[in-house]
Amino acid sequence: MGRFEIKFSKHAERQLKERNIEPELVQETLENPEQIVTAGKNRKIAQRIYQRQGRDFLLRVVFSEQGNLEIMTVYWTSKVSKYRRK
């Protein structure tokens, strides 16, 4: 997706802090996603696997592309096979 300016919703900003997710990881996931899936009207999810605590975790970045790119929420999941599309 290339380098671009992103905006975080208030909810996403809270989630970053509560879930200890570095904004740089969000940027990296958006710039080099392993996968992007559609998540309803005007929303997509960029996904990328990272190693944490010796295990694979999927970082899911839910965003909207209406004009600017806005991050709606972001979270880690250990359920990689559940969310990865083939």
pLDDT value at 15 more than 80: yes
CATH number of 6-83: 3.10.450
The position carrying tokens 């990272």 is: 50
- The model's pTM: 0.88
> What gap in Å lies between CA 18 and CA 67, rounded to an integer?
28
Q: Rounded distance, CA 67 to CA 20, Å? A: 28
Q: Where are the domains of the chain?
A: 6-83
Model pLDDT, residue 1? 52
> How much is the pLDDT for 34?
95
Q: What percent of the chain shows pLDDT beyond 70? A: 95
- What is the DSSP code (8-state) at residue 59? E
Mean pLDDT along residues 11-31? 94
Q: Look at 35 and 68; give whichever has higher pLDDT.
A: 35
- The pLDDT of residue 21 is 95
The kind and range of the H/E element at 28 are helix 23-31
**Within 13 Å and on the Cβ side, how many CA atoms surround 36?**
12
**Residue 73: pLDDT over 80:** yes
